[in-house]
């Protein structure tokens, strides 16, 4: 169950990633379809305008030449004549005044094809092409009305835009279908992984899939699962072997110390050394038990009186104060008033590291262990805590700014954090109100036990 809970965040992350991957596939199809249809629409519009303009100008050039030819063949013909669907105008020197009056914008135009537009007297927009041929005696003009052509172009553009929308929606549907097809084996692989993780099974995944990219992924996962299982098995065997092999000499040391302490006539100095060995043996035993729980990722059974455990820890650390002017005292609840469901080894390691750090970094003053309902405070009068130390104090291997000349590898508080994660406790270390540090170990309410139960 613990493995399934640990795997849940990774699986939720995989589901989010799978949704994002499906969305990226759909978005890729949509952008591809939109880009291609826009490119096609632009190319079609450009080609249509280019071809239409070329054809119209070619027709106008040929018709203005024909218009001039008809005029020269019969000068008595009316100068303003319609030619096919266009209207032609001829202005001789005696009609220049009319040109300036009726079509002033034509006067300064050179030979060639010109695009003209404007608003008529009724307020309607108009546009036309004008072919101009000027000689020394006559000026020929041929006007082609482009109003209908412009309206047709607008209709064509609307049709093109509609096609872009339709094909974009079609690309979206195709992308949705393709993404579902592509992601189906990946979803099936994720589903099988969830089932195997929840049931603790380790059946091979690769035979369930085709020999494609997903099958290769399943095969790689199978290989990774085998290697991970072997690593976990070796780790468990190593922890069990180390625990057993270390417990045996520790048990021998414990028995020998107890026998020596039971002998009469031992001087105080020897007795103090034997008691120190006994405390060190108990610390090693507790640490081994706690590390074994962490390696197995399982909560060990037991019920522990926190006040009594704190009192024993203070006694053990008093012998390590040395020549420092330091007072260690216990405040708050008495024995039997605060009992939690956890082995004493876990409490001793978690709380012992907090007390040990307070004793180590406090040169003089006092270290107070205050047992409250549901929590324990370790308050010292040491040098305090910097912002960087507060942010990184529980990182493995990190040693604070005041640890230059002290022993230790910076793993004690990381072990405390791991024990808190295992048992659902909470630990925080903050600067004191005036000086020093306040370390608080908060026990989860659902792990607390009635001291009068049983």
What is the pLDDT at residue 7?
A: 44
What is the pLDDT at residue 211?
A: 74
Q: Is the pLDDT of residue 166 over 80?
A: yes
Q: Is the pLDDT of residue 2 over 50?
A: no
How large is the average pLDDT for residues 136-165?
84
Binned at pLDDT 50, 70 and 90, residue 327 comes out as: confident
How large is the average pLDDT for residues 74-94?
67
248-273 in b/e form (b: 16+ CB < 10 A) is eebeebbeebeeeeeeeeeeeeeeee
Binned at pLDDT 50, 70 and 90, residue 329 comes out as: confident
Q: What is the pLDDT of residues 113-126, one digit of tens each?
A: 888 887 777 777 77
Q: What is the pLDDT of residues 400-429, one digit of tens each?
A: 555 554 555 467 788 888 888 888 889 888
Binned at pLDDT 50, 70 and 90, residue 451 comes out as: very low
Q: What is the pLDDT of residues 352-398, one digit of tens each?
A: 888 888 888 888 888 889 988 888 999 888 887 777 777 777 777 66
Question: What is the full DSSP assignment across 390-449?
Answer: HHHTTSTT---TT-TTS---S-HHHHHHHHHHHHT-EEEEEE-SSSSEEEEEEPPGGGEE
Across 47-56, 88-97, 306-315, 338-347, least confident range: 88-97
Query: Does this model's pTM top 0.85?
Result: no
219-244 in b/e form (b: 16+ CB < 10 A) is bebbeebeeeeeeeeeeeeebeeeee
Q: What is the pLDDT of residues 217-247, one digit of tens each?
A: 778 877 777 787 777 777 777 777 766 677 7
Binned at pLDDT 50, 70 and 90, residue 80 comes out as: low
How large is the average pLDDT for residues 69-75?
75
Average confidence score pLDDT of the chain: 77
Q: In the CATH hierarchy, which fold is given to the domain comprising 301-449?
A: Heat Shock Protein 90 (3.30.565)
Q: Are 344 and 306 in contact (CB under 8 A)?
A: no
The structure tokens listed for 149 are 């052509």
Sole residue written with tokens 């050179």: 110
Largest pairwise CA distance in the chain:
155
User: Which sequence spans correspond to the domains of the chain?
Assistant: 1-201, 229-298, 301-449
What is the pLDDT at residue 1?
A: 40
Q: Is the pLDDT of residue 347 over 60?
A: yes
CATH class as words, domain 229-298: mainly alpha
Question: What percent of the chain shows pLDDT beyond 70?
Answer: 84
What is the pLDDT at residue 3?
A: 43
């Amino acid at each position: 169950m613990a493995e399934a809970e640990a795997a849940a965040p990774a699986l939720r992350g995989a589901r989010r990633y799978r949704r994002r991957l499906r969305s990226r596939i759909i978005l890729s199809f949509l952008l591809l379809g939109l880009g291609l249809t826009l490119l096609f629409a632009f190319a079609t519009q450009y080609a249509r305008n280019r071809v239409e303009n070329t054809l119209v100008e070619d027709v106008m050039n040929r018709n203005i030449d024909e218009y001039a030819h008809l005029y020269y063949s019969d000068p008595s013909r009316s100068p303003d004549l319609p030619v096919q669907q266009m209207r032609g105008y001829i202005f001789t020197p005696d009609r220049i005044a009319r040109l300036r009056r009726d079509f002033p914008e034509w006067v300064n135009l050179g030979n060639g094809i010109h695009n003209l537009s404007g608003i008529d007297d009724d307020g309607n927009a108009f546009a036309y092409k004008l072919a101009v041929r000027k000689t020394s005696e006559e000026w020929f003009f041929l006007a082609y009305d482009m109003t209908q052509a412009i309206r047709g172009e607008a209709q064509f553009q609307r049709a093109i835009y509609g096609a872009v929308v339709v094909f974009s929606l079609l690309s979206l549907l195709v992308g949705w279908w393709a993404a579902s097809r592509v992601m189906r084996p990946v979803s099936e692989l994720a589903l099988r992984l969830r089932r195997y993780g929840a049931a603790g099974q380790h059946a091979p995944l690769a035979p369930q899939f085709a020999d494609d990219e997903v099958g290769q992924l399943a095969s790689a996962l199978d290989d990774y699962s085998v290697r991970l299982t072997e690593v976990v098995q070796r780790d468990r065997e190593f922890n069990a072997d180390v625990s057993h092999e270390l417990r045996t000499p520790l048990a021998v040391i414990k028995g020998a110390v107890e026998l020596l302490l039971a002998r009469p006539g031992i001087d105080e100095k020897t007795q103090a050394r034997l008691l120190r060995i006994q405390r060190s043996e108990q610390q090693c035993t507790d640490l081994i038990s706690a590390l074994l729980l962490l390696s197995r990722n399982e909560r060990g059974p037991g019920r522990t009186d926190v006040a009594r455990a704190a009192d024993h820890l203070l006694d053990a650390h008093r012998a390590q104060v040395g020549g420092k002017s330091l007072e260690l005292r216990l405040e708050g609840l008495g024995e039997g008033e605060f009992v939690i469901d956890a082995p004493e080894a876990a409490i001793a390691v978690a709380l012992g590291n907090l007390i040990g750090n307070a004793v180590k970094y406090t040169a003089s003053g006092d270290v107070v262990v205050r047992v409250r309902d549901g929590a324990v405070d370790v308050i010292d009068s040491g040098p305090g805590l910097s912002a960087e130390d507060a942010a990184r104090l529980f990182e493995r291997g990190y040693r604070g700014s005041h640890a230059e000349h002290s022993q230790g590898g910076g793993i004690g508080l990381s072990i405390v954090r791991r024990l808190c994660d295992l048992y659902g406790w909470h630990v925080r270390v903050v600067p004191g109100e005036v000086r020093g540090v306040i370390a608080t170990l908060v026990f989860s309410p659902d792990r607390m036990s009635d001291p009068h139960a049983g």
